[in-house]
Amino acid sequence: MLRAVWKWFTDKWPYYRVKDALLKEDITGGSNFAYTLGSTLLALFILQIMSGVVQLFYYVPTTDHAYESVSYLRTEVPFGWLVHNMHRWGANAMVLVLALHMVQVYIWGGYKTQLTWLIGVILLLLVMGLSITGATLIWDQSGYWAGEVSTSIAGEVPLIGGLMTIIARGSPVMGQLSLSRFFAFHIWFFAPLLALFIAAHVLSFRHSGIAGPWDERKRTKTEPFWPNQAFKDMIAATTVFFILICLSVFASSSFSGAADPLNTSYIPKPEWNFLFIYQALKYFKGPLEPVGAGAVPAMLILLLAALPFIDRNPERNPMRRPVAMAALVAYAGLIIALTIIGYLSPGIVRLPASALKTGQAQGKKSKKPSIAKQPAAAPKMAGAAKGRQLFRSEGCPACHRINGQGGTIGPELSGETLAGKSKKWIMDQIRNPKSHNPNSIMPSFADLSDSQLSALADYLLSLQQKTAAPPRTIAEAAGAKKAPGVPAAPAAGLKVVPPDSIPQGPAGKASFIIGNAGNGAILFREQCSSCHGPEGRGGIPNPGSESGTVPPLNPIGNVFRNVDVRVFAGNIDKYIQNGATPPGPGPALHMPDFGASNSLTQQEISNIEAYVLQLNGADRAQLQNPGLKPVNFFIIAVILYAVAISALVIMNAGIKRGRK
């Protein structure tokens, strides 16, 4: 029965002709593991297609759901963590293996077959395009800023830079149009073109033949592709897949938090394979920026493309090509050095002038300004909360410092810098800085409305109110005088009240977002530690409250805890969103409504929640439904890898014996 079905299939479809076309190839010099890089690239591309298709079943390409949909896949879909990590590490592996393949072809003189090499250069550009567009699709902090930085660098290219940025982003700033275009480029442009040029590359080197060894004596030997070279290819691909599994298990992708352009504590950098361009751009300042953004990358690509036309010497032995080898060392060494320096250097990004109006800073990326907490008795100005958001979104922290945090170009705006200045004076200063100082270098913000200017002025005036230092003891906070050398007595009759007795509102969107604990630690130090203590250990007195102190968050009260980290985060979120007033006759300190007042964005709140959970031994990114625990999956993968390699070796030996 099976034989009849097979005969029907082979009669209707040219199976044997396709098989011969794929497997019947003479390998000059015999099989070699050095030839496996190309086939490994093909295997990685197939992995990317398969894992990418699976992710498309869950991915939502919108700015408000992209990050959440990927987070859902990674934490709640069985084996979703494996699919996503294999795709991520597979993408990085493609870039690395392609670079190694080109170096190997260069050393062996394979670039002298001109068309095959030129197609390879095009493949390099397509893989780089897939890399940058794929990273942005997650729409997390790292992906968003990778897209922002790369498109901003492209915008510096002379003549066509502005057009390139608009084509990539769809608008002057990163947003929904940008995500839609990156999605279209990734799925419908770069991926199909890569498949097409891979096929063209294979046909080209099959037509012209592989370069083979440079020793003429070894070139006299030939060997068919099947079985030796085919099995070497399978061993190499299987080994690379196993390495990717190891990375997926033990170096899983981190959650950098949802994209938040207003979070100025995040230091942006492009993907690692673009760091050399990013770093090179730093050495070209002012009017030379277009040279670094356009001329340097173009020169590097043109050198690769022109290589087979520049070096027409038929000699392929690297020992007899000292100039070519020296050029390789210089070329590769420059890229590697710039990549390492760019990775280790602080984040610096130069953006178009329009970016200043969307919350991205120019020059060195400053840390998020630490906003002084107002005493409970201080009246709130109507526009202060809105003004704080405007201060950040207009890029003011790039030049001005708040409580020691921010840029140094302009004066610090906290403390008493603006003491004695009227609200109208501040509004005029923002609208037209030269009205007070003709030599001012501060840019004009005349396009802001009167209500926006008023809100900014309210916020800046609120910074001039002095914040009392946290009291050292409850007695001091209550106003009691302590005699020198006599320790203050603790307040009597104070008891700890469980936090669930404090009024609270509903949880916000942040409780459904997986935040980044590292960024949350920065935000916590700036926004929360003055009340809850360093690392949330508490001990800050709160006179007038029944407990007498601000409750610690490390460890946090049992009423907040839950084995489900989503519920755990939601319990904390209610307080951060809506604020709370501790029970008691008149507590001096109360929990501000960071969410309701828009003092913090939902992404920032989710980062703080991830950090608080981390302090309490919980991981906000904990796998909810892994399908199989990563460590257990790794053990199975080790066994399967050993079985697969053994089976390949045995099969190859059996085929060799059968041929004899």
Q: Rounded mean pLDDT of 33-60?
A: 94
Q: Is the pLDDT of residue 483 over 90?
A: no
Q: Is the pLDDT of residue 491 over 70?
A: no
Closest CA to 547 of 498, 503, 477: 498
The H or E element that residue 368 is part of is: none
Q: Rounded mean pLDDT of 220-244?
A: 88
Q: Based on the domain organization, do 345 and 379 belong to the same domain?
A: no
Instruction: Give 561: exposed, middle or buried? Use CB within 10 Å, 0-12, 13-18, 19+.
Output: middle
Q: Based on the domain organization, do 353 and 378 belong to the same domain?
A: no
The alpha helices in 114-229, defined as continuous H runs, are: 114-137, 141-155, 161-169, 176-184, 191-208, 216-219
Q: Is the pLDDT of residue 426 over 80?
A: yes
Give the CA count within 13 Å in the CB-facing half-sphere of 199. Answer: 6
Q: Based on the domain organization, do 507 and 381 belong to the same domain?
A: no
Q: Both ends of the chain: CA-CA distance in Å? A: 32
Q: Based on the domain organization, do 247 and 282 belong to the same domain?
A: yes
Q: Rounded mean pLDDT of 275-304?
A: 82
pTM: 0.75
- Tell me if 111 is assigned to some domain: yes
Q: Is the pLDDT of residue 378 over 80?
A: no
Task: List C-alpha distances in Å: 642 to 239, 240, 638.
Answer: 10, 13, 6
Identify the band that residue 476 occupies on the pLDDT scale cut at 50, 70 and 90.
very low
pLDDT of residue 503: 46
Q: Look up the CATH number of the domain holding residue 538.
A: 1.10.760
pLDDT of residue 416: 65
- Tell me if 47 is assigned to some domain: yes
How many domains are contained in the chain?
3
Q: Rounded mean pLDDT of 475-497?
A: 36
Q: Alpha-carbon distance 407 to 426, whole Å?
A: 19
pLDDT of residue 88: 96
Q: At what angle do helices 114-137 and 296-310 cross, to 10 degrees?
A: 160
Q: Is the pLDDT of residue 492 over 50?
A: no
Q: Which of 114-128, 192-206, 290-304 is the least confident region?
A: 290-304
pLDDT of residue 589: 85
Dump pLDDT digits (tens) for 127-148: 999 999 999 999 999 899 888 8
Is the distance from CB of 280 to CB of 292 less than 8 angstroms? yes
Q: Alpha-carbon distance 200 to 484, whole Å?
A: 87
Is the distance from CB of 501 to CB of 591 less than 8 angstroms? no
Q: Based on the domain organization, do 298 and 325 belong to the same domain?
A: yes
Identify the band that residue 205 occupies on the pLDDT scale cut at 50, 70 and 90.
confident
- Tell me if 454 is assigned to some domain: yes
Identify the band that residue 505 occupies on the pLDDT scale cut at 50, 70 and 90.
low
pLDDT of residue 636: 96
Q: Alpha-carbon distance 653 to 191, whole Å?
A: 37
CA 505 from centre of chain: 33
Q: Based on the domain organization, do 255 and 393 belong to the same domain?
A: no
pLDDT of residue 430: 86
Q: Rounded mean pLDDT of 95-108?
A: 92
Is the distance from CB of 574 to CB of 478 less than 8 angstroms? no
Q: Is the pLDDT of residue 370 over 70?
A: no
pLDDT of residue 371: 30
- Tell me if 169 is assigned to some domain: yes
Q: Is the pLDDT of residue 67 over 90?
A: yes
The three-class DSSP label of residue 224 is strand
Q: Is the pLDDT of residue 112 over 90?
A: no
pLDDT of residue 486: 32
Q: Which of 49-53, 80-84, 256-260 is the least confident region?
A: 256-260
Q: Is the pLDDT of residue 488 over 70?
A: no
Q: Which of 412, 439, 462 is the last residue of a domain?
A: 462
Angle at 565 between CA 559 and CA 571, to 5 degrees: 40
* Residue 587 domain boundaries: 496-615
Dump pLDDT digits (tens) for 584-635: 888 888 888 888 887 888 989 999 999 999 999 999 999 999 999 999 999 9
Closest CA to 153 of 359, 352, 286, 337: 352
Q: Which of 112-126, 437-451, 559-573 is the least confident region?
A: 437-451
Q: Is the pLDDT of residue 421 over 80?
A: no
Q: Based on the domain organization, do 537 and 430 belong to the same domain?
A: no
pLDDT of residue 328: 92
Mean pLDDT of the chain: 80
Fill in the amino acid letter for 480: A
Q: Which of 424-428, 459-463, 642-646 is the least confident region?
A: 459-463
Closest CA to 349 of 405, 297, 279, 288: 279
Q: What proportion of the chain, given as a percentage, has pLDDT over 90?
A: 36
Q: Look up the CATH number of the domain holding residue 414.
A: 1.10.760.10
Q: Based on the domain organization, do 337 and 458 belong to the same domain?
A: no
pLDDT of residue 6: 83
pLDDT of residue 182: 95
Q: Based on the domain organization, do 392 and 507 belong to the same domain?
A: no
Identify the band that residue 428 occupies on the pLDDT scale cut at 50, 70 and 90.
confident
Q: Which of 303, 330, 358 is the last residue of a domain?
A: 358
Q: Alpha-carbon distance 578 to 387, whole Å?
A: 19
Q: Alpha-carbon distance 547 to 491, whole Å?
A: 10
Q: Based on the domain organization, do 390 and 344 belong to the same domain?
A: no
Q: Rounded mean pLDDT of 262-282?
A: 79
Dump pLDDT digits (tens) for 147-184: 888 888 777 777 777 788 888 888 878 889 999 999 99
pLDDT of residue 114: 81
Strand stretches in 326-371, DSSP E: 348-349, 363-364
- Tell me if 13 is assigned to some domain: no
Q: Based on the domain organization, do 272 and 391 belong to the same domain?
A: no
pLDDT of residue 640: 95
The DSSP call for residue 394 is T
In sequence order, what DSSP letters do the residues of 327-380 get, joined into one string? HHHHHHHHHHHHHHHHHHSPPEE---GGGGGGTPPSEEPPPPP-PPPPPTTSPP
- Tell me if 424 is assigned to some domain: yes
Q: Alpha-carbon distance 328 to 39, whole Å?
A: 24
pLDDT of residue 368: 35
Give the CA count within 13 Å in the CB-facing half-sphere of 339. Answer: 10
Dump pLDDT digits (tens) for 320-365: 889 999 999 999 999 999 999 988 887 644 333 333 333 333 333 3
In sequence order, what DSSP letters do the residues of 523-550 get, joined into one string? HHHHHTHHHH-GGG----B-TTSSSSBP
- Tell me if 627 is assigned to some domain: no
Q: Based on the domain organization, do 90 and 201 belong to the same domain?
A: yes
- Tell me if 642 is assigned to some domain: no
pLDDT of residue 620: 93
Q: At what angle do helices 275-282 and 322-344 cross, to 10 degrees?
A: 80
The three-class DSSP label of residue 312 is coil
Is the distance from CB of 37 to CB of 110 less than 8 angstroms? no
